[in-house]
Amino acid sequence: MILSDGTIRRLLDEGRLVVDPIEPSQVQPASVDVRLGAEFLVFRNHTAEVIDPYARRSDLMQKIAVGEGDAFVLHPGEFVLGTTLEAIGLPDDLVARVEGKSSLGRLGLLIHATAGFVDPGWKRGQITLELSNVATLPIKLWPGMRVGQLSFHTLDAPAERPYGHPDLGSKYVGQQGPVASQYEQNARS
């Protein structure tokens, strides 16, 4: 079941659901708008010849911080990691879905490639956004702009092993800012 605005506000008030900071206008009929943070991770195409998911490379990505009043320009075909301004916290019986804003999608901005799911038990961390420009013109990304929305879904029962459980090897607990892939921590199969 997808949560309604009234239920979202109640859970925020009770502290069971965390979206921080939040303005009342961010709560929509069945979602919460999230805003874009000011930090981005960009690929260093000039130093990395290939991406190997099993090899951790410190020179693969570079952090860019956008100054007050400035925009990050995302060029056609470009892919960068961004972050939500808000930190999110979920109880063990809720999941969240990350979706783009339709008005930005109509301009060619995609905000996630595959990471559109936030696990139950996610503990107060920002959400890394996978930003792509599929348009034919560059898109200005302004820190603080509403870039996506979270919808919340109830589980039939609380998760027995929520995100961060010691048995899971959860890699992104409490992340702040955009966080690069930690795939190299996975065992090869």
pLDDT tens digits, 91-129: 999 999 999 999 999 999 999 988 889 999 999 899 999
| Separation of alpha carbons 180 and 166, rounded Å | 21
Residues annotated as binding site for dCTP? 101-106, 119, 128-130, 149, 163, 171, 175
Specify the pLDDT at position 4.
98
Residues marked as catalytic:
130
Contact 155, 120 (CB under 8 A): yes
Phi, psi of 27 (to 5 degrees): -80, 120
Question: What pLDDT, on the 0 to 100 scale, is given for residue 189?
Answer: 67
pLDDT, greater one: 60 or 24: 24
As a whole number of angstroms, the distance between CA 66 and CA 69 comes to: 8
Read off the pTM. 0.93
8 or 58: whose pLDDT is higher? 8
Binding residues: 101-106, 119, 128-130, 149, 163, 171, 175
State the CATH class of domain 5-45+60-166: mainly beta
pLDDT in tens, 38-94: 999 999 887 777 888 888 777 789 999 999 999 999 999 999 999 999 999 999 999
